[in-house]
Chains A and B, each alone.
Chain A
Amino acid sequence: MSTKIVITGIGATTPLGGDARSTWQALLAGESGISTLEQEWIARYEIPVTFAGQAKVKATDVLTPQEAKRLDPSSQFALIAAREAWADAGSPDVEPERLAVEFATGIGGVWTLLDAYDTLKEKGPRRVMPMTVPMLMPNGPAAAIGMEISARGGVRTAVSACASSTEAIANALNRLLTGEVDIVVAGGSEAAIHPMPIAAFASMHALSKRNDDPTKASRPYDVDRDGFVMGEGGGALVIETEAHAKARGAKIYAELVGGAVTSDAYHITAPDPEGSAAARAMLQALEQAGASIEDVVHINAHATSTPVGDIAEYNALRRVFGDHLDNIAVSATKASTGHLLGGAGAIEAMFTVLALHNRLAPPTINLENQDPEIKLDVVTSPRELPAGDILAISNSFGFGGHNAVVAFRSYN
């Protein structure tokens, strides 16, 4: 009998809510976390995109002033999500050497990096603060969590753009399956609602320009989709061996049964239109799960609301699932949250876990005219999932041709 790996804690801070529960409730209610940016720098720099999914609860309202001062916003979100997940798992008393962190980011401490550069230019090198380096490094969020929970089994950061935090969860699965550790806090965060990244994403025409109607801008699979909407926040899962979870009497949300990473080697930003490497990631995750394609009842798609990305993922899905795809309830939750980049996979894995746990697939808002080329059964209002042993996957793809997929099974 192979080792089972289970999810025992969840935490998040997102554009929909300051914790996992409020985020999930808002998602089920069909809310949008997207709003107009009121920051003065929008006008100052004439930023062409004037909206995003800002964290519903400010991190600085949750953390102490000293914590906030020493952490880049990406690490602030990470710490908030991880604390919630750890508490949700019962704040387990574990051997530090058997506890690891796999926490991702796409960009890292971009606020710290650019603020420090402004300080250098305006005030000189002496005024560049000594905490700048630990605050800007991409492993900062993972390190902050590791310090918080005394993880001595290894603290790592996957960096693969928008696939980062799904890759982190796949890495966690592998570390648990090898027996190196008993328990891992995994996930990812991002805090890049800053004029420079917005300008850069806008410059590559990746972002929606629906400035006059921000809550309708993120619209995966809709014929009028025109790009993704940036979001910020973080998500964390506590993942452990079933034996470890049972020994301490933990509640179990779902089983993590597969995780796979592949790469396109096709184009630095465009997805392979055939989706063959993306398809292979899905198949590998299912193979690791010992599952067949017919076992899958729900997919949390990557679906960022870009014209080409949504089609490419659809092609990959059709390649994997064939006719069975018509029987699968597909949710594209970025419609509500926006795209959390390196944090996206973490909150979407959490949504997938909650969908299995509650037997309820979350809705995809803003789907008014489904693209006729995308023949998916898209969930537009919360939909009950079947009883029995069911499987769901969560996809994430990133610039660089990164494909990451995780598979979860309902747990009884």
Chain B
Amino acid sequence: MALSQNEVLAGLAEIVNEETGIATEAVQLEKSFTDDLDIDSISMMTIVVNAEDKFGVKIPDEEVKNLITVGDAVNFIVAAQ
């Protein structure tokens, strides 16, 4: 069964927290991965790979650069399920 936007956000927040230590509450839809959360490209790729595993989706490398905000990533995952 496909997960809702909120469920994907919660799951993604856990992945971000595990990789970076950023509190899950701080991982909000409008936050930019680089500008707000200070996530570097290596951490971003780790988060992407862990998200693929967790949500059973494919996030192509060329798509990753379009995932500016947490909301971009959540929406991509919701659509790709």
Bound together, the chains give a CA A131 to CA B45 distance in angstroms of 9
With A126-B52, A127-B53 known as contacts, the answer to whether A65 contacts B21 (CB < 8 A) is yes
A127 touches B46 (CB 8 A): no
B23 at the binding interface (Cβ < 8 Å): no
Q: B49 to chain A: which residues have CB within 8 Å?
A: 126-127, 129-130
Is there a chain A Cβ closer than 8 Å to B5's Cβ? no
CB <8 Å contact, B42 and A69: no
* Chain B residues whose CB sits within 8 angstroms of the CB of A66 once the complex forms: 19-21
Q: In residues 36-67 of chain A, which contact B (Cβ within 8 Å)?
A: 64-66
B interface majority secondary structure: helix
The count of chain A contact residues (Cβ–Cβ below 8 Å) is 10
Complex contact A131–B46 (CB within 8 A): yes
Give the distance in Å from the alpha carbon of A134 to the alpha carbon of B45 in the complex. Answer: 14
CA distance A366 to B45 in the complex (A): 51
A67 closest partner in B (C-beta) = B21
Are B46 and A129 interface neighbours, CB within 8 A? yes
Collect the chain B residues with CB atoms within 8 Å of residue A69's CB. 18-19
> Cβ of A126: which chain B residues have Cβ within 8 Å of it?
49, 52
Q: How far is the CA of A129 from the CA of B49 in the complex (A)?
A: 8
What CA separation (Å) do A126 and B64 show in the bound complex?
14
Which A residues from 110 to 147 make CB contacts under 8 A with B?
Answer: 126-127, 129-131, 134
Judge whether A130 and B42 touch: CB under 8 Å: yes
> A66 CA to B22 CA in the complex, in Å?
10
Q: How far is the CA of A134 from the CA of B18 in the complex (A)?
A: 19
Contacts of B52 in A (CB 8 A): 126
Among B20, B45, B49, B52: residue with most chain A CB under 10 A: B49
Give Cα A130 to B19, complex, Å: 12
A129 CA to B41 CA in the complex, in Å?
Answer: 12
What residues on A are CB-neighbors of B21 within 8 Å?
64-66
- Complex Cα distance, B19 from A160, in Å, reads 34
Contact of A130 with B20 in the complex, beta carbons under 8 Å: no
Q: In the complex, what distance in Å separates the CA atom of A130 from the CA atom of B20?
A: 14
Q: How far is the CA of A257 from the CA of B45 in the complex (A)?
A: 48
Task: Tell me the minimal C-beta distance from A72 to chain B in angstroms.
Answer: 15
Q: Which of B43-70 contact A (CB under 8 A)?
A: 45-46, 49, 52-53
**A130-B46 in contact (CB<8A):** yes
Q: How far is the CB of B49 from chain A (nearest CB, A)?
A: 6
- List chain A residues, Cβ under 8 A from B53: 127
Cα A131 to Cα B18 with chains together (Å): 14
Chain B residues near A65: list those with CB within 8 A.
18, 21
Contact residues of B between 6 and 37, Cβ < 8 Å to A: 18-21
0/1 string, A58-101, CB within 8 A of B gives 1: 00000011100100000000000000000000000000000000
The reply to whether B20 and A131 contact each other, CB–CB distance below 8 Å, is no
CB distance from B41 to the nearest CB of A (A): 8
Instruction: For residue B12, give the distance in angstroms from its CB to the closest CB of chain A.
Output: 17
How far is B21's CA from A66's CA once the two chains are assembled, in angstroms?
6
Residue numbers in A under 8 Å from B46 (CB-CB): 129-131
19 additional contacts (CB under 8 A) given A65-B21, A69-B19: A64-B21, A65-B18, A66-B19, A66-B20, A66-B21, A69-B18, A126-B49, A126-B52, A127-B49, A127-B53, A129-B45, A129-B46, A129-B49, A130-B42, A130-B45, A130-B46, A130-B49, A131-B46, A134-B42
